[in-house]
Amino acid sequence: MPTETLQTALSVSRRAPDMEDYIDIIRRHKAWIFGPVFAGLVLSVVTAFLWDDTYISTAVVRVVPPQVPEAFVPQNINMEMSQRINSMAQQILSRSTLTNIINTYGLYPRDRARLPMEDVVEDMRRSDVRISNVVNFATAAEGRKSIPAFQISFAYKNRNLAQKVCQDLVGRFITENTRDRSNASNFTTTFLKDQLEQERKLLEGVEDRLAKFRVENTGRLPDQVQQNLQQLQALEQRASNLNGIVSRLNQEKLLTESELRINKDRLTQLSSPNEIQSLIAQMPQMQAKNDRLAAVESEIMRQEAAISALKENYRDTHPDVQRAQAILNSLKRNRDALSKEESAKKPDPAVASAPARPVVNPLVVEKQRELEANIKRLQSSLEAKDLEMEDAKRQLGVVQAQIGGAQGRLNATPLSEKQYMDLLRERDLVRARVEDLNKKQSLSKVASDLEGRQQGENLELLDPASLPMKPAEPNRPMMIGIGTGLGFLLGLFLAGARELKDTSLKNLKDVRAYTQLNILGSIPLLENDLVVRRRRRLSWLAWSTASIVGAIVMSASVYYYYFVAHV
């Protein structure tokens, strides 16, 4: 029965420990707690003092804005400074540059002995070199004014080498920035120059095609329409004048021919003897008749010629034609009246009955000579008028041909207008591009000169590379504290694990809780004093040995740090 009761009691869950139980647990498992603590302390001290010091040298580089306002001289480089710094960082932190720095200053001798150079360079780029972004720094030198700047830092176990490498990196950044800006600005200027030359050649080609088109289409260009109209009007006016000249010459020719015919008739009449005698007898009476009648006949011929000339240009209903016709009718009536008047008059009987005598009258001879001279003069005048009329007709033909050409050019203007306007539009576009590129090239050249004088946006050393006096890492007190704390946690874990594994009854509380029996008394554990003393001696020996060994190891690591590693 007691055995069954004990088994039932052991199957129940553990009771909740109190503070006295925790103290008992620590006392029972103090070796498992303080052993890991001491081991963590030793390991952390050894690790902290055997870990090489790392010194960080830092320099601050400021971004100097352009000396000339951008409103006056636009910059050729539009990339933000942060982007340019990242671009320069990729170039400066390239394998070739870092390899050169490592070989120049003899960095990482142990790593180079056991690792390839690519791994050493990669470790240096990833762990030791730090380049911050452009931020605003407030410095006392600038009166606490915020200025754009960025930091460059290098970490190495030798503080002098860390400073030298940091200075080298800063110098490379400043030099690379000046070179990149100068090259970029010169490249922009050269590019704009090449583009300008290409556009100029294109403009020359367009102007050549435009000039060739103008030569091939002279007079048919849209901007020559007004000129062609004026020329056509002038040619039409000249043709009208030539037509008037031809009409006038025709009228004068008709009058001259009529006068020539009259003179020839009169000369024929003077050649007949009867006519001569009749003329001699009737000369006093007919002289007035012939003069008046001849004048009227001459005026009628002139009027008929004028009417013929007017009818060539106007219709019969035209007022000028009707007026000239009325004048002609009046002249004809006058002529008829004169003829009737002369016919009604009878000759003198005494004169009529007188016998005819062949007498040579000087007046007849003089009249014949006068008529012959008039005939020659009129014939010469007709020949001159024929020549003048031929010349006027020839000029009229030339003018008519020119009028036809001008009208053809006016008719052909709409056909060439589109092609001509396309050429003009292309010429204007190319010319605008040339002017724009010329202006941009001038500004780019000024910007390049500004970069050559280093008056653009530059980098300037604000704080030189520092010489670190204290190592940035490792933080030995923190490492020792963390190692000791981890050892204490490990000891607590081991003590708790052992306590959970141990199911024996430790004190009277456990007996009452698990057996549910009344305790009448307790008998203390009786052990052999020899065994107890030997166990204690072994425990003290172990702790003493561990303490001595730990102290020696920690002392050796401290000695190595101060007297070996820093010699």
Sign of the dihedral through C-alpha 550, 554, 555, 556: positive
CA 127 remoteness from chain centre:
44
CA distance 176 to 318: 98
Query: Going along 14-144, which residue ranges are E strands?
Result: 55-64, 129-131, 135-139
**Alpha helices per DSSP H over 217-318:** 225-271, 273-313
Which two structure tokens, joined as six digits, stand for 533? Answer: 């003393």
Nearest-angstrom CA–CA distance, 173 and 459: 8
The reply to whether 23 falls in a domain is yes
Residue from 183, 178, 194 nearest 441 by CA = 194
* Residue (of 280, 326, 319) closest to 303 by Cα position: 326
Q: Could you give the number of structural domains in the chain? A: 3
CB 549 within 8 A of CB 36: no
Cα Rg, the chain, nearest whole Å: 69
How far apart, in whole angstroms, are the C-alpha atoms of residue 378 and residue 253? Answer: 10
Number of H helices, E strands in the chain: 16, 5
Distance CA 134, CA 177 (A): 14
At 245, list the tokens.
Answer: 């000249």
Q: What global pTM score does this model have? A: 0.53
The C-alpha atoms of residue 237 and residue 229 are separated, in whole angstroms, by 12
**Residue 147, SS3 per DSSP:** strand
Indicate if 258 and 322 belong to the same structural domain: yes
The Cα–Cα gap between 111 and 535 comes to 50
26 and 122, same domain (yes or no): no
Q: Is 362 part of any domain?
A: yes
DSSP E strands in 82-142: the ranges are 129-131, 135-139
Q: Which residues of 18-38 are buried (b: 16+ CB within 10 A; e: fewer)?
A: eeebeebbbeebeebbbbbbb
- For the chain, first and last CA: distance in Å? 79
Q: Does residue 210 lie within any of the structural domains?
A: no
Q: How far apart are CA 409 and CA 229, in angstroms?
A: 10
Q: Does 103 lie in the same domain as 27?
A: no
Does one domain contain both 272 and 362? yes
- The whole-number mean pLDDT for each consecutive block of 10 residues of the chain, a chain of 567 residues, reads 45 70 81 88 89 88 77 68 80 89 91 90 90 67 63 90 92 86 81 86 85 70 64 79 81 79 75 53 50 72 74 75 82 79 57 44 66 79 82 84 72 61 82 87 77 74 87 85 91 85 71 69 67 82 89 89 73
Examine the domain organization and report whether 334 and 288 are in the same domain.
yes
**Do 295 and 410 share a structural domain?**
yes
Amino acid at 214: R
Give CA separation, 291 vs 52, 267, 285, in Å.
Answer: 153, 15, 11
Q: What is the per-residue pLDDT for 233?
A: 78
Q: Are residues 178 and 106 in the same domain?
A: yes
pLDDT at 153: 92
Name the residue among 86, 125, 132 with its Cα closest to residue 102: 125
Q: Cβ of 258: how many Cβ atoms within 10 Å? A: 18
**Amino acid 350: pLDDT:** 44
On whether residue 421 sits in a domain, the answer given is no
Question: Is 209 part of a structural domain of the chain?
Answer: no
For residue 166, the model assigns a pLDDT of 93
Structure-block tokens of residue 523: 């008998």
Note whether residue 452 is domain-resident.
Answer: yes
Nearest of 317, 337, 320, 311 to residue 254 by alpha carbon: 311
Structural domain including 28 reads 2-51+476-564
Residues 167 and 238 in one domain: no
Instruction: Assess whether 116 and 69 both reside in one domain.
Output: yes
User: Among the residues of 314-361, which ranges form H helices?
Assistant: 319-344, 349-353
Query: Is 230 within a domain?
Result: yes
Claim to verify: residue 392 and residue 457 sit in the same structural domain: no
Closest CA relative to residue 61, chosen from 158, 160, 139? 139
Q: Would 152 be classed as within a structural domain? A: yes
Please name the residue that has the structure tokens 């200053």: 105
Amino acid at 339: S
249 in the same domain as 389: yes
Q: Are 299 and 252 within one domain? A: yes
